[in-house]
Amino acid sequence: MSVHTGRHFLQIPGPTHVPDRVLRAIDRPTLDHRGPEFAALGHEVLAGLKPVFQTRHPVIIYPASGTGAWEAALVNTLSPGDRVLMYETGQFAVLWRRMAGRLGLEVDFIPGDWRRGADPAAIEARLTQDRAHAIKAVCVVHNETSTGAVTRVPEIRRALDRTGHPALLMVDTISSLASIAYRMDEWGVDVTVGGSQKGLMLPPGLSFNAVNDKALRAAKSARLPRSYWNWEEMLAANEAGFFPYTPATNLLYGLREALHMLQEEGLENVFARHARHSEATRRAVRAWGLEILCAEPAEYSNSLTAVVMPEGHDADRVREIALERFDMSLGTGLGKLQGKVFRVGHLGHFNDLMLAGSLCGVEMGLALAGVPIRKAGVQAALDFLASAASQGKG
Ligand SMILES: Cc1ncc(COP(=O)(O)O)c(C=O)c1O
């Protein structure tokens, strides 16, 4: 293993770079999580998360990775044998479906080709067929991290409304929160699942459920066993700024700082920055002569771009070279995309020159791996970034 100098380029689509400000905030003596000082921190982060989810409803914080928040969303609202409708956008949808099955739910899984978001028309068709309202929840992944395709959540909401179907709408925003526009209340989402380690610029270890009144009503009669994930106990303790068990105290210091940073930049500017970096990345991919995995331009992800390898070339070889030679981590192809794509993360604490450096590493890595490309990708991205800068965009 060679010795590297300078900063590692962590270009996976999460965990993302943790800003120095957030690292400094975490680096503090641990405090008594049942003492008066903690309550102020608890209140501040619980309130400060709401604008990030664009909700006036409670946001629950778990000391868990995103998978925990997936489970919490299901076990708090559903009963054994309940039917849920899910859509195969990619590997994360597959994993959430597997979890639902393990918990004893009946999953109606609409197949997808891993190149686009969930199809509102297909969901509407299933809901129309379900006259008895057996389906209790529709669960979609907003930004499918394995493919770089976004689901148009407002259109899924309209599909529910047009059919008059009462199912809950649950959305996984683990790789879209604080990166891609998301408006829980305006879009009529009942449960939002989030995580700390991507757009929120924190280390892994916190995850979230934002829950509206309809979801809370469902929780009253839901019968799946739940203990650690129980919303009711959590919300009761949160009233006073506390948690029913030991919270991840130092990560909450980091969360407070990250929320300040997002507020200083302004969420709309955060979204515009992510849009600019994703557009620059796509221009690079096209100029290299490679294919973007997401097949629907209206559904391109602003958090990451998955790049398809030409036949006979291994994406993991490109990743290996980028790591060994340039100290850059790129995202691997997940599930059935292993070896076929690599993913460039461009979310979180990130700027134009970090993106430029990353794309240089990708272009050199591709060339060293013998992938036939035009060496024009970096230039295309730089031209776009420079023109956006001259127009004052983002
Ligand atoms: C969209 C999405 N959902 C769920 C998860 C699972 O979260 P975790 O790995 O934090 O448990 C991830 C992780 O990357 C994700 O990207």
For the CA of 95, the nearest atom of ligand 1: 4
- In the chain, pLDDT over 70 holds for what percent of residues? 99
Atom 7 (ligand 1) nearest CA: 66
pLDDT at 393 over 80: no
246-255 pLDDT, tens digit per residue, is 999 999 999 9
Of 174, 176, 206, 343, the one to substitute when testing ligand 1's pocket (max ligand atoms within 8 A of C-beta) is 174
The predicted pLDDT at position 392 comes to: 79
d(CA 319, CA 38): 43
For the CA of 146, the nearest atom of ligand 1: 16
- Cα of 36 to ligand 1 centre, how many Å? 33
122-153 pLDDT, tens digit per residue, is 999 999 999 999 999 999 999 999 999 999 99
pLDDT at 2 over 90: no
Q: Under a CB-based contact definition with an 8 Å cutoff, are residues 123 and 146 in contact?
A: no
For residues 140-168, give the mean pLDDT.
98
- Cα of 182 to ligand 1 centre, how many Å? 17
Q: Under a CB-based contact definition with an 8 Å cutoff, are residues 79 and 100 in contact?
A: no
For residues 109-115, give the mean pLDDT.
98
- Cα of 174 to ligand 1 centre, how many Å? 6
Q: How many residues does the chain have?
A: 394
Q: What confidence tier does 172 reach under pLDDT thresholds 50, 70, 90?
A: very high
For residues 99-110, give the mean pLDDT.
98
For residues 267-296, give the mean pLDDT.
98
d(CA 273, CA 38): 34
Phi and psi (nearest 5°) for 210?
-100, 130
Average pLDDT, the chain: 97
pTM value > 0.95: yes
pLDDT at 323 over 70: yes
339-386 pLDDT, tens digit per residue, is 999 999 999 999 999 999 999 999 999 999 999 999 999 999 999 999
For the CA of 70, the nearest atom of ligand 1: 4
Which residues face 110 on adjacent strands? Answer: 87
Q: Under a CB-based contact definition with an 8 Å cutoff, are residues 284 and 388 in contact?
A: no
The predicted pLDDT at position 394 comes to: 55
The predicted pLDDT at position 29 comes to: 95
Q: Under a CB-based contact definition with an 8 Å cutoff, are residues 60 and 211 in contact?
A: yes
**Ligand 1 pocket member 141 (CB < 6 A):** yes
- Cα of 165 to ligand 1 centre, how many Å? 28
